[in-house]
């Protein structure tokens, strides 16, 4: 039997039991968690889950149970089917990089760095940011994993990122990942 895929996203103020109750609900409807990212950002909690299920027919009570879950935990919940075409894996034939950013927090850092990546034809695989209010000015950290076209000029790409970092006052480090490891 073929797998059918679904994307569930949820977010709200953190409270104990969210992951347990959500996975209990999903298991009751025979969903399997394929991939997920769940994270607490200060006092909020966000969930992104790629699910699979063999039976393409969704039980009627599912939407009601998801709505009840959202109401119980004060979370917005979105659930949608992912088509077979949408599920085709990214080919990953480019060059992978890990980029780390550090410096004083200010508006425009993410826009500037991601703009340099997009201008060189890159695709962001993962992006995580953290800011610390414990320092003056507040410190900002960003970690990205990106896939760049195989034809990208590595030196020009690094220079573009460093220039973008200087414009926003952050330090940029770029490290190539060997694809065979992934």
| pLDDT tens digits for range 132-171 | 878 888 899 999 999 999 999 999 999 999 999 999 999 9
Last residue of a domain, one of 32, 51, 82: 82
165 is written with which tokens? 């970092």
Closest by Cα among 174, 106, 121 to 144: 174
Q: Which of 171, 119, 176 is nearest to 146 (CA)?
A: 176
Statement to judge: residues 114 and 172 lie in one domain: yes
Mean per-residue pLDDT for 40-65?
A: 93
In this prediction, residue 1 carries a pLDDT of 66
Whether 131 contacts 100, CB under 8 Å: no
**What are the tens digits of pLDDT across the range 75-132?**
999 999 998 888 776 666 789 999 999 999 999 999 999 999 999 999 999 999 998 8
Claim to verify: residue 70 and residue 108 sit in the same structural domain: no
Q: How confident is the model at residue 12 (pLDDT cuts 50, 70, 90)?
A: very high
Same domain flag for 56 and 123? no
Q: Residue 17: give its domain's CATH number.
A: 3.30.70.260
Tell me the HSE value of 92 on the side-chain side, using a 13 A CA sphere: 13
Whether residue 105 sits in one domain with residue 54: no
Q: Is 180 a residue whose pLDDT tops 60?
A: no
What residue numbers bound the domain in which 128 lies?
95-181
Classify each residue of 88-117 as buried b or exposed e, where b means 16 or more C-beta atoms within 10 Å of its C-beta.
eeeeeebbbbebebebebeeebeebbbebb
CB 25 within 8 A of CB 1: no
pLDDT score recorded for residue 6 = 96
In angstroms, the CA 156 to CA 29 distance is 50
């Amino acid at each position: 039997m073929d797998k059918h895929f679904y994307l569930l996203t949820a977010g709200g103020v953190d409270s104990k039991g969210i992951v347990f109750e959500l996975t209990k609900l999903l298991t009751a409807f025979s969903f399997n968690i394929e991939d997920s990212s769940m994270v607490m950002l200060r006092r909020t909690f966000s969930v992104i889950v790629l699910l699979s299920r063999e039976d393409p027919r969704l039980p009627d009570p599912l939407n009601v149970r998801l709505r009840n879950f959202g109401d119980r935990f004060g979370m917005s919940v979105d659930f949608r089917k992912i088509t077979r075409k949408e599920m085709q894996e990214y080919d990953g034939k480019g060059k992978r990089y890990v980029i780390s950013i550090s410096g004083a927090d200010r508006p425009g850092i993410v826009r500037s760095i991601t703009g340099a990546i997009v201008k060189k034809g890159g695709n962001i695989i993962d992006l995580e940011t953290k800011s610390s209010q414990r320092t003056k000015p507040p410190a900002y950290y960003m970690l990205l994993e990106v896939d760049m076209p195989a034809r990208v000029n590595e030196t020009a790409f690094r220079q573009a990122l460093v220039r973008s970092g200087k414009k926003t006052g952050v330090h940029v480090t770029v490290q190539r990942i060997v694809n065979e490891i992934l």
